[in-house]
């Protein structure tokens, strides 16, 4: 779809993939509504892009509906929705406190559903728009020590796929970006740094380029990096082999 002149709402825009994607969308000529928890960084990004900053926490059950209303008030509606905001938690599931479970499910899965529900009908009525979801390779393969995070991303993947089937012929594109390891603050915030030698984290700007490219071309899905399709294919074709390899190599 044409990005120039369109209104794009980006969640999780105060850092990481959301920040980089907002800059790319601004370069492509989009008008921006920027949502995130860090009010200072959000204001700085708004200053660079001319976007509207809306600070808030999607862990609040009412935040998605408030954000949709604010986007309508500030920008007159949304043409492109980038459901990027997400939180992580690393460690054995038995050590995870119930409030942490609820936070991950709310932010990573329920909030994107609510926000999409609030904005999608207007896109369908105009027969034009795009909804992008930032999922994770963890949601397609599973990751030890990230059981709840993986489950929320798998749920988001399934939701996007089902929504794509529903939206067929509506003029609204539904896409997913499936990133692996990216150079962001995610790992520090989840409570466990990334310590593996490979795969090496991707530069966040490269991931943002893939996301914006998927919007522009109407792609159903993009992997970042592309070789991540291989473990997903092995898991689908030979699940026993995949589990053996995952147990041995991680």
Report the distance separating Cα 208 and Cα 206, nearest Å.
5
User: Which residues are catalytic, by number?
Assistant: 149
Is 206 a domain residue? Answer: yes
Is 65 a domain residue? Answer: yes
Q: In Å, what is the CA distance from 73 to each residue of 61, 66, 125, 148, 195?
A: 20, 10, 18, 35, 44
Is 2 a domain residue? Answer: no
Whole-prediction pTM value? 0.94
Instruction: Tell me the per-residue pLDDT of 135-180, one tens digit each, with 9 for 90 and over.
Output: 999 999 999 999 999 999 999 999 999 999 999 999 999 999 999 9
Report the distance separating Cα 139 and Cα 19, nearest Å.
22
Phi, psi of 53 (to 5 degrees): -85, 135
Is 184 a domain residue? Answer: yes
Give the pLDDT score at 193: 75
Is 34 a domain residue? Answer: yes
Instruction: Tell me the per-residue pLDDT of 170-226, one tens digit each, with 9 for 90 and over.
Output: 999 999 999 998 988 787 787 777 777 778 888 999 999 999 999 999 999 999 999
- Average confidence score pLDDT of the chain: 95
Here the CATH number for the domain that contains residue 77 is: 3.40.50.720
Length of the chain: 250
Spatial CB neighbours of 125, under 8 Å, sequence gap ≥ 6: none
Buried b (16+ CB within 10 A) or exposed e, 228-245: beebeeebeeeeeebeee
Is 30 a domain residue? Answer: yes
Alpha-carbon Rg of the chain, whole angstroms? 17
| Domain count of the fold of the chain | 1
Q: Please name which of 207, 222, 212, 205 lies closest in space to residue 80, comparing C-alpha atoms.
A: 212
* pLDDT of residue 12 exceeding 90: yes
Give the range of the structural domain holding residue 197, as residue numbers without chain letter: 7-249
CA 3 to chain centre: 18
* pLDDT of residue 247 exceeding 90: no
Percent of the chain with pLDDT over 70: 100
Helices vs. strands in the chain: H and E counts, helices first = 11, 7
Is 69 a domain residue? Answer: yes
Is 1 a domain residue? Answer: no
Evaluate whether 47 touches 70 at the Cβ level (below 8 Å). no
Q: In what order do the strands lie in the sheet with 80-83?
A: 52-55, 31-36, 7-10, 80-83, 129-134, 172-179, 221-224
């Amino acid at each position: 779809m044409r990005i120039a002149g369109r209104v794009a709402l980006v969640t999780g825009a105060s850092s990481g993939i959301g920040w980089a994607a907002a800059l790319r969308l601004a370069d492509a000529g989009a008008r921006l509504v920027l949502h995130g928890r860090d009010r200072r960084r959000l204001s700085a990004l708004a200053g660079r892009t001319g976007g509207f900053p809306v600070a808030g926490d999607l862990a609040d059950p009412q935040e998605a509906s408030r954000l949709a209303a604010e986007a309508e008030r500030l920008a007159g509606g949304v043409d492109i929705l980038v459901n990027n905001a997400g939180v992580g938690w690393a460690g054995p599931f038995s050590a995870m406190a119930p409030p942490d479970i609820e936070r991950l499910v709310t932010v990573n899965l329920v909030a994107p559903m609510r926000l999409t529900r609030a904005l999608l009908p207007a896109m369908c009525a105009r027969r034009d728009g795009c909804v992008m979801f930032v999922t994770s390779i963890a949601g397609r393969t599973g990751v030890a020590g990230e059981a709840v995070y993986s489950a929320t991303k798998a749920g988001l993947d399934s939701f996007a796929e089902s929504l794509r089937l529903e939206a067929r012929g509506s003029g609204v594109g539904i896409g997913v970006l499936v990133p692996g390891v990216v150079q962001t603050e995610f790992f520090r915030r989840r409570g466990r740094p990334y310590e593996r030698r490979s795969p090496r984290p991707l530069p966040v700007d490269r991931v943002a380029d893939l996301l914006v490219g998927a919007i522009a071309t109407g792609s159903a899905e993009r992997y970042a990096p592309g070789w991540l399709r291989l473990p997903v294919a092995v898991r689908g074709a030979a699940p026993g082999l995949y589990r053996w390899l995952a147990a041995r190599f991680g």
